[in-house]
Structure 1
Amino acid sequence: MAVAPTLLAVVIALGAALLATGIVGLIRDGRRIATPVYVTMGLGLIAVGTGMLLASQGHPVPLIVIVAAAVGVLLLGNVVGYPLLMVFLLYSGATVLRRENRSLGNALALLAGIALLLLPSTLGMLAPPDTVRTDAAYMARYAVHLSATVVVVYFGFAFAAFTAASLLYRWRRIRTVPVAVIVLGSGLINGQVPPLLAARLRRGLGIQTQFQGTPVIITSGGQGADEPRPEGEAMRDYLLAQGADPATVVAETESRTTEENLRYSRRLLAEPSSPVVVATSNYHVFRAALLTRTLGMHAHVVGAPTAWYYFPSATLREFAGVIRDRLWFTALSIAVLIILAVTFTLVIVPAIGPGTT
């Protein structure tokens, strides 16, 4: 059955609207996870709609190419990408535990690699028999398997969108001269600035130098229970030892979390809406950017380099943090998916008919 050209035109127009929304969002701000989703969905709808429209006019080659490309990407992702990602996570996870302290946060890459290793067999164990039945046991197993599958797909899609948005954001340039550079704390070791925090401070000092020393540097961090002095003071001392002008470095010493880093540092500005640059580690850039957007700050976040083996676990920890920050949305999304999976099981499966394979 041919699809009406009017309907295809609507599909193409919807794709163009989504693509435009995504591009405008990326250009204006970039601090949203949804923007790369809009771009991807827009391109997909435009490609499929255009291909089907041309096919209806006797030119099937573009549609064949689009379908072949989509199938090729899916096959490449599953056959090549999935195993490579699993091996990389296992290797980087083992490396970070060998080189750094053994903690749950540092073990996330290893745990994710193990999860990917076990996922296919786990979903296979949950899968119902190939022959459709309508008894309660079969229906329950079908619903559980379908629910688990859609939830896994949901988190995979969410992580892909988070990663894409993070990469796109890091390519953005600073467009406004900042009045301050806020350097986020990450903890002291024996009262001294450790390498990871030192990299953040050097990044902040580099931004100040880039703008001819105009922005004030705010070193942000309170005093933890195991720290002999406030982190912000230690960070300021480190910058002064690196040659920073004492008149352009201010310590914020009350914050305990990233959100407090930003809130309390903003209080030190003459105008809360003034443009600022926030310096942190590269894996933490996008989550910090999301927080600045939530707080209504005119901010651009930049990152300092991190060891490659540390990056996967840290990125997974940041993703978990974003999920936690949006816990109600995540819980609601999962609940809706499970309801849809159960509804499909109760309504569609019996309609397929028992004995079907």
Structure 2
Amino acid sequence: MASLVFAVPAGLSFLLFLSRVRRDPRRFSNAVLLGLTLVLVTVALLAQVADGSAPAPLVVAVTLTLLLLALSVLVLAFFLIANGVQMIRKEGPRPANLLSGLAGVSILGVFALALTAYHTNSAPLQRVAGAVLLVSGYVSYLFVSFLVYAFFYARLTLRQDVDYVVILGSGLIGGSRVPPLLASRLDRARAVYERQAARGTPPVLITSGGQGPDEDIPEADAMAAYLIAHGAPEGHVLREDRSRSTEENLRFSSAIMQERNPEYRFVAVTNNFHVFRAALTARRTGIDGHVIGSPTAAYFWPTATIREFTAIFLHHKKINLGVCTLLTLFSTLL
């Protein structure tokens, strides 16, 4: 009976999630609803086990899952630290490349603080530990929700032909050369072009990226040259060479498409870790289009994913910092 208290809200949450995804999949609230559904299902299962109504196989499965989750958090911490070291070796000690290592150290720090508070009688330390655990739980909930939904969104398929394929820039190396990260986006865009051209309706490729202070040419020019050198017809390649951010990539490219075809349909191409945030940016700027991803080097993915989540978290900083403050006050009062 206790499990129904959570199972019913879980079902309602999932139905609301499906409804909102159908209306517009480019919402972070969709990720939150999916995460809420998973939490409620988990609690319903735990309630069923606790009241003794669960069959033996379910009890074993839930117990093993909880043990594996606890162990996986520790494994994740050491993996992130190792990945942070690898990022520094391969990409240099820039602040963005420290994220995975810092995340791993933070997880171990939370564990150490909780254990210390548990084994002492210090009320102030226990309040601090409680606040840290509550805030960490909230952030972890959002991160897992983001991770699961971003995985889901990245696998949504194009249902119709498009007029344009916009490739988002990501910087050049040596001032003029396309790096592997950007080449992956260009190759994915060319594959979309070739697949649609085979059906008789080739889209126009738009390379989007301005010239950075350390670059000899605009990113759009280097990207266009790469596409043409790899078989894309020059007449089907346009350049947007003013943008310096994802929002400008989309906004300036939209202006080009709008001028040529007010009823345009397009898809944007970026790396898989950046797909969901790019989709959120497109929606926020009022641009209606789908975003698809290209492969990313495995070692780069953890840091990049944490960076994407951090950007989304801070974009909604008022509500997120407000919730964190309330959780801290709640822990202090208890």
Q: Which of the five TM-score ranges fits, normalised by the shorter chain? A: 0.7 to 0.9
2:323 maps to 333
Matched residue type, 2:178: V
> 1:63: how far off?
6.8
Q: Which of residues 84, 87, 90 is equivalent to 1:99?
A: 90
Q: 1:9 to 1:148 in 2, by over 3 A?
A: closer
Distance 2:107 2:124 in 1: 25
Q: Give the paired residue count.
A: 324
1:20 maps to 15
Matched residue type, 1:101: G
- Higher-Rg structure is 1
Matched residue type, 2:182: L
1:230-286 Cα distance to aligned partner (Å, 9 max, x none): 111221122111221222211111111111111111111135674321111111112
Question: Which SS does the other structure have where 2:54 is aligned?
Answer: helix
Question: Which SS does the other structure have where 1:217 is aligned?
Answer: strand
Distance 1:48 1:253 in 2: 55
| Unpaired segments ≥5 residues, structure 2 | none
Matched residue type, 1:209: E
Kept in 2, the 8 Å contact 1:274–1:298? The answer is no
Q: Normalising by structure 1, what TM-score?
A: 0.81
Q: 1:167 to 1:180 in 2, by over 3 A?
A: same
Kept in 1, the 8 Å contact 2:13–2:33? The answer is no
Q: What is the root-mean-square deviation in Å for CA atoms of aligned residues?
A: 2.6
1:73 maps to 65
> 1:325: how far off?
1.6
Is residue 145 of structure 2 the alignment partner of residue 161 of structure 1?
Answer: yes
Is residue 179 of structure 2 the alignment partner of residue 194 of structure 1?
Answer: yes
Amino-acid identity (%): 31
1:246 maps to 234
Q: Which of residues 272, 295, 299 is equivalent to 1:305?
A: 295
Kept in 2, the 8 Å contact 1:278–1:300? The answer is yes
1:227 maps to 215
Matched residue type, 1:96: M
Distance 2:4 2:98 in 1: 49
Distance 1:116 1:274 in 2: 46
Question: Which SS does the other structure have where 1:302 is aligned?
Answer: strand
Q: Which of residues 126, 129, 132 is equivalent to 1:148?
A: 132
Matched residue type, 1:216: V
Alignment of 1:47-196 (within 5 A): 51=48, 60-62=52-54, 69-79=61-71, 81-126=72-117, 129-130=120-121, 139-189=123-173, 190-196=175-181
| Unpaired segments ≥5 residues, structure 1 | 131-137, 346-357
Kept in 2, the 8 Å contact 1:19–1:41? The answer is no
Q: 1:304 to 1:86 in 2, by over 3 A?
A: same
